[in-house]
Amino acid sequence: MFDVGRALAVLRRAMPAWQAPVVAEFARERRDPFSILVSCLLSLRTRDETTGPASRRLFRLAETPAALLRLSSRTIERTIYPVGFYRTKARTLRALAQTLLDHHRGRVPTDLDALLALPGVGRKTANLVLTEAFDLPGICVDTHVHRITNRWGYVTTRTPSATEMALRATLPRREWRGLNTLLVAFGQTICRPLSPRCSSCPLNAVCPRRGVGRAR
């Protein structure tokens, strides 16, 4: 079986040369659960180079749920544009702020089920908030984590949600927290969706490359 622990250790040594995902950068920079949650929501279906500036523009106007709720949807739309689905996200952010104020005293909950009950929050976002905002165990599976762990043959799954469940069953708990940040950086830089850069990959000698057709 693919030695996932050794592979992750190799990637951690290589990671300083790669660009960290924008949410991980915000977590190191701000250490504020609400800011991390908002940047997670803005990042959905949006590239990091757009998410980062949009998040910073919004946080200059509102750093708390109460302050965000004082902004109109139109103001939020103009501020976060051109993130993907910016009009929908503006409405979602206002609903999120209201829910946090009404049910959580304006604080981001630390419980997975409570996070999943928030407007706009799915499993990917909820797990990322747990790990990045609260240093709690969670497995955030996006397209990179899903693709890479299947290429390794460590899991054999069809969807990110199935990958999360498979990883929860097999991946040592000590590896959970930093998995998303590490594999997103790796996936954006080396193990890309199309024509991955296998010749420059630190795992080239051991990776089974399942599902890979053409590589560089």
Q: How far apart are CA 112 and CA 123, in angstroms?
A: 8
Q: Which of 22, 89, 90 is nearest to 50 (CA)?
A: 22
Q: What pLDDT, on a 0 to 100 scale, did the predictor assign at position 199?
A: 94
Q: What's residue 31's pLDDT?
A: 82
Q: Determine the Cα–Cα distance for residues 21 and 43; give it in Å rounded to an integer.
A: 10
> What distance in Å separates the CA atoms of residue 71 and residue 62, rounded to the nearest whole number?
8
**Tokens 């954006």 found at:** 188
Catalytic residues: 124, 142
- For the purposes of burial, counting CB atoms within 10 Å of the CB of 138, is it exposed (0-12), middle (13-18) or buried (19 or more)? buried
* CATH class of the structural domain 22-134: mainly alpha
CA 91 to the chain's CA centroid: 21
**Which parts of the chain register pLDDT below 50?**
none
The CA-CA-CA angle for residues 24, 91, 98, to 5°, reads 80
The reported pLDDT for the residue numbered 26 is: 80
DSSP 174: G
Sign (positive or negative) of CA dihedral 121, 125, 130, 135: negative
Q: What is the pLDDT of residue 170?
A: 96
pLDDT, residue 86, reads 97
**Which pLDDT belongs to residue 111?**
95
Write down the pLDDT at residue 214: 84
Evaluated on CA atoms 111, 113, 114, 119, the torsion sign reads positive
pLDDT at position 130 is 95
**What's residue 213's pLDDT?**
84
Query: Taking a C-beta distance cutoff of 8 angstroms, is the pair 93, 68 a contact?
Result: yes
pLDDT for 69 equals 97
* C-alpha triplet 180, 115, 77: angle, nearest 5°: 85
Cis peptide before 82 (omega within 30 of 0): yes
Which residues in the chain are classed under CATH 1.10.340.30? 22-134
The pTM (predicted TM-score) of the whole model is 0.91
CATH number for the domain formed by residue range(s) 4-18+139-200: 1.10.1670.10
Which part of the chain is CATH 1.10.1670.10? 4-18+139-200
